[in-house]
Amino acid sequence: MSHPLIDPSLASEPVATPRRRWSVSAVAHTLEKLGLGFFAPFIRLAAGDNPQEQLREIILSVVLPILAIAAFMAAWSTAATRVHSESMKIPSPAQTWSAWLGILEFAKGEAEKEKAFYARMEKLAEKSDAEAVAARADLAASPADAGIKARLQKALDASASYRAKPYVGPPTFFDQIQTSLITIAVGFSLATVIAVPIGILCGLSRAFNMAVNPLIQIFKPVSPLAWLPIVFVFVTALYHPAPDEKFFTRALLISAGTVTLCSLWPTLINTAVGVASIDPDHMNVAKVLKLSWMQRLWKIVLPSALPLMFTGMRLSLGVGWMVLIAADMLAQNPGLGKFIWDTFQNGSNKSMAEIVCAVFAIGIIGFLLDRLMLVLQRFVSFEEGKSI
Amino acid sequence: MAYLELSGVSKSYGSGASRTPVLDRISLAMDKGEFVAIVGYSGSGKTTLMSLIAGLIEPDSGGIIFNGREVNGPSPDRGLVFQNYSLLPWLTVEGNVRLAVDRLYGSESACRRRERVRDAVSMVNLTPALAKRPRELSGGMRQRTSVARTLAMNPSLLLLDEPLSALDALTRAVIQDQILDIWRAQHQTIILITNDVDEALYMADRIIPLTMGPGATFGPETKVELPRPRDRKALNHDPVYKRLRHDIIAFLLNERRQRGSGSSQNSVKPSPPSVRPRDITSRGFGWFTRKAPAPTSSHEAVL
């Protein structure tokens, strides 16, 4: 017989719940911190943590977005049947999917071709190796024979050149993604390296800030397309790569330089604001402790500016990724932008579908980059939430 | 010659027409090891006074001599405990204290410095919270960390700028006793700024009221000749305590009535008096009920 005023469910609560619930909430919290918050209610639900509330959360964070995506797909399908020019038309979702499968197929084929190429080269190299061994044996018999010496040298050279020969095939979609990621990494790193010190100086010194502020305000809104020719001149004038340079090509540097010029502003401005808006109490602490200028910078100013600095870097990376696509197109840097442009120029019946695939890839990669920065930002922020 | 001497110290903020005098010809002489409390309304320039003694700002006129030398900048032997703790939020309790220790005792071995940090933290009974960050601490623990950071510098003059005003009554009582214990053990000279007359009476040797700003100056000082250690509960019934308390509060209220009766010259923000007028009329109040929040409007009725 239960007392009417006592909720019987309370009595039947398992004893072990509090401990488990703590760990569940820790896991959920970690997910939220990693920017994967929409998984959290599933885990809480699986742990039996307030099912009603978790279901509501799931509806909000999962079901509604799925509905929105479905509505978008419907609109897209409708547009695909109606919108078309003489030579091109908007691909339907199904066509896009098959184009995506085609891209995968092509990449797979290329990978196989590459493997076969290297196997063939290895075989040739082994043949030359065998010749070299034979030549060496002959040389042991008659050490002074110049003809045998030349034969050995030729065999060794041939073997080395077979092994060193790279596979030259058309870049796959994933090679292009890789190129884009390398370009943004170079451009963004450069932007950070330039923007953070200048931002710190702006924040520390009012005079410096007043001096450079007009330049910042004028250059900040400039479009990447306007920067590109200027970067082009700089790179071609100052950078002379070896003819067989594969990695840091001029096109990559032009693209990266344009990304740098467009993406350094948010980092610069946020760093300046972070440094300038340091809590005067913290500066008083520095004064009472009589910290030197460098100690103030390292122990007080930089740590307190770090969260805003990372906010700026996150914005910068977002801007940089957007700029990159345009820069790739114009600089002919073999990244996603060039892929889109080339595919568009190509004008085959699959082109538009492949471009839509690239659009999605650009969006998803941009989203992942943003999440990455968000996680970093949360790790350096000291005010919000508990650290993991 | 006094250990700490302020002679005719004045300080104004702003310039031209908007110039506001904050402190007007303040003079004070303190002996070594003395504990002086300065009470006054918020906005009367108490924090300015502390910053002047700490050397964070310079007086417009007059001078401060500490231990035979003129004060012309901050120094670790004048340790300041800030009203709002001023802990660095990205450092742990240990890190905050270590910042001070490393700065002052950088030449000592790492082991010895760690010992200093631990000693300072244990002095305020915070050893269990060594690895916590300020946001994980209660207000009282934050202020104790701040006190530990200041104590780690071994200051001979301790400047306490309303260190306890943001804390609840229970925590206040605990930290007041901790500060008194440390003072008894280490014999620093202490200036405590407070808006709580009871706190001043419980802790200090001498109480000096600051008149209401702008242009605040010192009122008549009160010597607190109550035997130490003082017993909170017994004090409430001590006739000397009651008389001193009444006198100081009467002075402060009178100040307010003269200076602040609706005149626009009073540029101080119109905050209610921090000394709760309700206390005058209440009889035999208990220590722990002191901090019961008085409705803002009720003090007007009393005045």
Of B54, B89, B135, the CB nearest to A288: B54
Indicate the pLDDT class of residue B232, thresholds 50, 70 and 90.
Answer: confident
Q: Report the pLDDT value the prediction gives residue A109, as an integer from 0 to 100.
A: 92
More confident residue, A371 or B18: A371
Alpha helices in A205-247 (DSSP H): 206-219, 224-238
* Interface touch A282/B135, C-beta < 8 Å: no
- Mean of pLDDT values over B24-46: 88
* Interface touch B74/A299, C-beta < 8 Å: no
* Digitized pLDDT (tens) for each residue of chain A, 388 residues in all: 444 444 444 444 444 444 455 577 777 777 776 766 777 777 777 777 777 888 888 888 888 989 999 999 999 998 888 877 777 788 888 889 999 999 999 999 999 999 999 999 999 989 888 888 888 888 888 777 788 888 888 888 888 888 888 888 888 889 899 999 999 999 999 999 999 999 999 998 899 999 999 999 999 898 888 989 999 999 989 888 887 777 788 888 999 999 999 999 999 999 999 999 888 888 888 888 888 888 888 889 998 899 899 999 999 999 999 999 999 888 888 889 999 999 888 877 788 889 999 999 999 999 999 999 988 888 887 765 433 2
How far is Cα B77 from Cα A288, in angstroms, rounded to an integer? 10
Say if CB B207 and CB B39 are below 8 A apart.
Answer: yes
* Interface touch B82/A287, C-beta < 8 Å: no
pLDDT value at B37 more than 90: yes
Interface check B89 vs A, CB under 8 A: yes
Beta bridge partners of A84: A89
Q: What is the pTM of this model?
A: 0.74
pLDDT digits (tens, 9 = 90+) for B214-228: 788 888 888 888 888
Residues of A in contact with B82 (CB under 8 A): 281, 284-285
Of A282, A295, A386, the CB nearest to B88: A282
Interface test with A, best of B58, B77, B88, B159 (most A CBs within 10 A): B88
Closest to A360 (Cα-Cα) out of A36, A58, A76:
A76
pLDDT value at B278 more than 70: no
Q: State which residue of chain B sits closest to A306, comparing Cα positions.
A: B90
* Interface touch B84/A289, C-beta < 8 Å: no
The nearest CA of chain B is from the CA of A249 a distance in Å of 42
Residue A265: left (phi > 0), alpha (psi -120 to 50), or beta? alpha
CA distances from B66 to A32, A291, A341 (A): 54, 21, 76
ipTM of the shown complex = 0.72
Interface check A304 vs B, CB under 8 A: yes
Interface check A283 vs B, CB under 8 A: no
Compute the mean pLDDT over every residue in chain B, rounded to the nearest whole number. Answer: 81
Residues of B in contact with A291 (CB under 8 A): 103
Interface check A300 vs B, CB under 8 A: yes
- Mean of pLDDT values over B93-112: 90
Helix (H) or strand (E) holding A318: helix A302-331
Q: Report the pLDDT value the prediction gives residue A52, as an integer from 0 to 100.
A: 81
* Interface touch B56/A304, C-beta < 8 Å: no
The nearest CA of chain B is from the CA of A376 a distance in Å of 15
Indicate the range of B136-140, B154-158, B167-171 predicted with least confidence. B167-171
More confident residue, B68 or A87: B68
Interface check B52 vs A, CB under 8 A: no
* Interface touch B56/A282, C-beta < 8 Å: no
pLDDT value at B276 more than 70: no
Interface check B135 vs A, CB under 8 A: yes
Residues of A in contact with B75 (CB under 8 A): 290
Tell me which residues of chain B, numbers 147 to 176, contact chain A at a CB-CB cutoff of 8 Å. 153
Indicate the pLDDT class of residue B36, thresholds 50, 70 and 90.
Answer: very high
Say if CB B106 and CB B187 are below 8 A apart.
Answer: no
Strand order in the sheet with B69-70: B20-30, B4-13, B61-66, B69-70
CA distances from A102 to A63, A76, A181 (A): 31, 21, 22
How far is Cα B219 from Cα B221, in angstroms, rounded to an integer? 6
Alpha helices in chain B (DSSP H): 46-54, 93-104, 110-123, 139-151, 169-186, 197-203, 232-235, 239-260, 278-281, 298-302
Of B88, B89, B99, the CB nearest to A383: B89
Q: State which residue of chain B sits closest to A287, comparing Cα positions.
A: B74
Indicate the range of A79-93, A204-218, B144-158, B239-253 predicted with least confidence. A79-93
User: How many Cβ pairs within 8 Å bridge chains A and B?
Assistant: 52
The nearest CA of chain B is from the CA of A300 a distance in Å of 8
* Interface touch B84/A281, C-beta < 8 Å: yes
CA distances from B284 to B199, B279, B290 (A): 17, 10, 11
pLDDT value at B148 more than 70: yes
Tell me which residues of chain A, numbers 235 to 254, contact chain B at a CB-CB cutoff of 8 Å. none
Of B74, B76, B89, the CB nearest to A382: B89
Interface check B80 vs A, CB under 8 A: yes
User: What are the phi and psi torsion angles at A353 (to 5°)?
Assistant: -65, -40
Of B75, B90, B153, the CB nearest to A382: B90
Amino acid present at B8 = G
Q: State which residue of chain A sits closest to B55, comparing Cα positions.
A: A288
* Interface touch A288/B74, C-beta < 8 Å: yes
Token duo for residue A337: 């932008």
CATH class of B4-77+155-302: alpha beta
Interface check B100 vs A, CB under 8 A: yes
How far is Cα B287 from Cα B274, in angstroms, rounded to an integer? 17
Q: Report the pLDDT value the prediction gives residue A21, as an integer from 0 to 100.
A: 52
Token duo for residue A229: 């020719």
Say if CB A251 and CB A333 are below 8 A apart.
Answer: yes
Interface check A291 vs B, CB under 8 A: yes
Interface test with A, best of B80, B83, B86 (most A CBs within 10 A): B86
pLDDT-above-90 percentage for chain B: 20
Alpha helices in B32-190 (DSSP H): 46-54, 93-104, 110-123, 139-151, 169-186
Interface check B241 vs A, CB under 8 A: no
Q: Report the pLDDT value the prediction gives residue B287, as an integer from 0 to 100.
A: 38
* Interface touch A299/B75, C-beta < 8 Å: no
Q: Report the pLDDT value the prediction gives residue B30, as an integer from 0 to 100.
A: 92
Tell me which residues of chain A, numbers 145 to 204, contact chain B at a CB-CB cutoff of 8 Å. none
* Interface touch B88/A285, C-beta < 8 Å: yes
Q: Report the pLDDT value the prediction gives residue A116, as an integer from 0 to 100.
A: 92
The nearest CA of chain A is from the CA of B137 a distance in Å of 12
Work out the burial of residue B76: count CB atoms within 10 Å of its CB; fewer than 13 is exposed, 13-18 middle, 19 or more buried: middle
Q: Report the pLDDT value the prediction gives residue A197, as an integer from 0 to 100.
A: 94
How far is Cα A295 from Cα A346, in angstroms, rounded to an integer? 59
- The CA angle A35-A40-A43, to the nearest 5 degrees, is 145
Q: Report the pLDDT value the prediction gives residue A385, as an integer from 0 to 100.
A: 45
User: What are the phi and psi torsion angles at B6 (to 5°)?
Assistant: -105, 125
Q: Report the pLDDT value the prediction gives residue B260, as an integer from 0 to 100.
A: 59
pLDDT value at B144 more than 50: yes
Pairing of strands B78-81, B157-161: parallel
Q: Which DSSP state fits B268? A: S
Contacts of A180 (CB under 8 A, 6+ apart): A324, A325, A328, A335, A336, A337, A365
pLDDT value at B284 more than 60: no
Helix (H) or strand (E) holding A72: helix A64-82
Of A281, A290, A383, the CB nearest to B82: A281
